[in-house]
Structure 1
Amino acid sequence: MQSDKFPTERQAPDHYTTLEVAKILGMAVRSVQLMVDRNELEAWKTPGGHRRISRTSVERWASAHGLAGADSAPSSSAPPLAPATRPPVSRAPSATPASVRTPQILLIEDSVHFQNLVGLIVKQHFPEAALQVANDGITGLALYGQIQPEVLIVDILLPGIDGATLITTLRSHPQFARSYLIVVTSLDEAQREPYAFALQGVEVIHKPRLVAELPAVLAACLPTGPVTS
């Protein structure tokens, strides 16, 4: 369905600029540039040196990662696309369905073991929360823009884009301010030194202590009641 933000008579282009793709996918421009460098998106440069990205490759990437919004051409006067909507959440009769949503936790972690471990912790201690999982930083950036979670849990060592770069990128987004950041890592304090620039003021949990420490950290940052949208 054509978005109301764009004229229905306008024909969608066969290519986008880097900025347009960033708006469509809810990412930073630098993240889109990294995707092009890794050949995840098809692109070329104009004689003036401006990058153009194939519409087809953007739609293909968005479809493969379960994202919405790539089927509408961005307008230069339109704001960035809003996050994809989710089905309404069942609530008690006194709640207003249009004004509440399930607290969202986004985990960006490539280890299936720790994905499952965090999933068990959330299910056991915070059954009212919804956990979304991304296997790599690029997918995590896209999901972040889509769901705008209350809590973001990030591993430092990630494929494609490392966690420190991911954290720095997210901090350039205004909406990042609404998310509580937790970093999980197998690195000890000495090994984390190269990433100190990204970890200042951030809650860091050593993975061997995950089961013991994560529940209390989540309890301190998750909302105790319905989240207003």
Structure 2
Amino acid sequence: MSRVNHIPSVPDTCSTTEAAQRLGMAVRSVQLMVDRGELQAWKTPGGHRRILRSSLEAWLDARGGGSAAASQSAAERGRAKTLLLIEDSVHFQNLISLIVKRELPDAELHVAADGIAGLALAGRLEPDLLLIDILLPGIDGAALITSLRSHPQFARSRLIVVTALDEAQREPYRFALEGVPVVHKTALVTELPPLLAGLAPRTAAHAA
């Protein structure tokens, strides 16, 4: 009698990027959902999250299905974006404001000159994008960035750090900056616009 060796089936999984596209969310939001246990996942030996598609579909079904998520995503793309700049230098407040106005003319930009005021504004606005200087009066910029990245309230907020520190000077803050776009203040005019482009509402031509 022959023996058939049954190979255990491998669960159907996807990456956080694929899940984010399916849900119409940012990758960071999906990572936080995993951390909160809302999606079932594990990490590969290389440290990458693999999400069970069954848990992804169950999450969608519980909230009205994928079409609702897609509609929400479309609404997010169509509305005017809210940005918050936390920067103590008036010169760079003005420069960044000019760049934002040029790249995102319909965006609503709020400015805070210190970390305490910035944190209060962030809690009230829940902005689409936070632009933060890592050296701020009144608060440790690295602690502020870490807090904002880990708080569920800001899960959908994108983050860009602007700084006058060079790469060596930023080393003590590496734990807070990992995975976050960092723009040196001398390169704002060239490096910030491409990062803002991802926030621009999609036109009908792009959506087609």
Q: Provide the TM-score with structure 2 as the length reference.
A: 0.58
What are the ranges of 5 or more consecutive residues in structure 1 without an aligned counterpart? 1-99
Distance 1:220 1:106 in 2: 16
Aligned to 1:129: 107
1:191 and 2:169 are equivalent in the alignment = yes
Aligned to 1:12: none
Distance 1:141 1:104 in 2: 15
Using the TM superposition, give the Cα deviation of residue 223 of structure 1 relative to its aligned residue in structure 2, in angstroms: 4.2
Moved runs in structure 1, 4+ residues, more than 6 A? Answer: none
1:173 to 138, 145, 151: 151
1:107 and 2:107 are equivalent in the alignment = no
Query: Quick one: structure 1 residues 189 and 116, their matched pair in 2 at CA, closer, same or farther if it must change by over 3 Å?
Result: same
Aligned to 2:95: 117
For the residue of structure 1 that corresponds to 2:150, the secondary structure is coil
Using the TM superposition, give the Cα deviation of residue 222 of structure 1 relative to its aligned residue in structure 2, in angstroms: 4.3
1:211 and 2:150 are equivalent in the alignment = no
Distance 1:119 1:162 in 2: 23
2:128 to 130, 150, 157: 150
8 Å CA contact retained: 1:110, 1:134: yes
**Percent same amino acid at aligned positions?**
67
- AA aligned to 1:156 is I
8 Å CA contact retained: 1:151, 1:222: no
For the residue of structure 1 that corresponds to 2:137, the secondary structure is coil
Deviations 1:17-37 (A, max 9, x none): xxxxxxxxxxxxxxxxxxxxx
Distance 1:222 1:190 in 2: 33
> Which deviates the most, 162-171 or 114-123?
162-171
**Number of residues of Structure 1 aligned to a counterpart in Structure 2:** 128
> Which deviates the most, 214-223 or 125-134?
214-223
8 Å CA contact retained: 1:105, 1:132: yes
Structure number having the greater helix percentage: 2
Using the TM superposition, give the Cα deviation of residue 101 of structure 1 relative to its aligned residue in structure 2, in angstroms: 4.5
Q: How does 1:34-183 map to 2 (within 5 A)?
A: 101-183=79-161
Deviations 1:166-216 (A, max 9, x none): 111213320221011000000000000000010000000011000111011
Distance 1:168 1:205 in 2: 17
- AA aligned to 1:178 is R
Aligned to 2:58: none
Aligned to 2:74: none
Using the TM superposition, give the Cα deviation of residue 218 of structure 1 relative to its aligned residue in structure 2, in angstroms: 0.6
Distance 1:150 1:223 in 2: 12
Query: Quick one: structure 1 residues 173 and 223, their matched pair in 2 at CA, closer, same or farther if it must change by over 3 Å?
Result: farther
Distance 1:222 1:108 in 2: 21
Distance 1:104 1:222 in 2: 11
Distance 1:171 1:132 in 2: 19
8 Å CA contact retained: 2:115, 2:136: yes
What are the ranges of 5 or more consecutive residues in structure 2 without an aligned counterpart? 1-77, 204-208
Distance 2:87 2:161 in 1: 10
Q: Which has the larger radius of gyration?
A: 2
Deviations 1:101-123 (A, max 9, x none): 52101000000000000111111
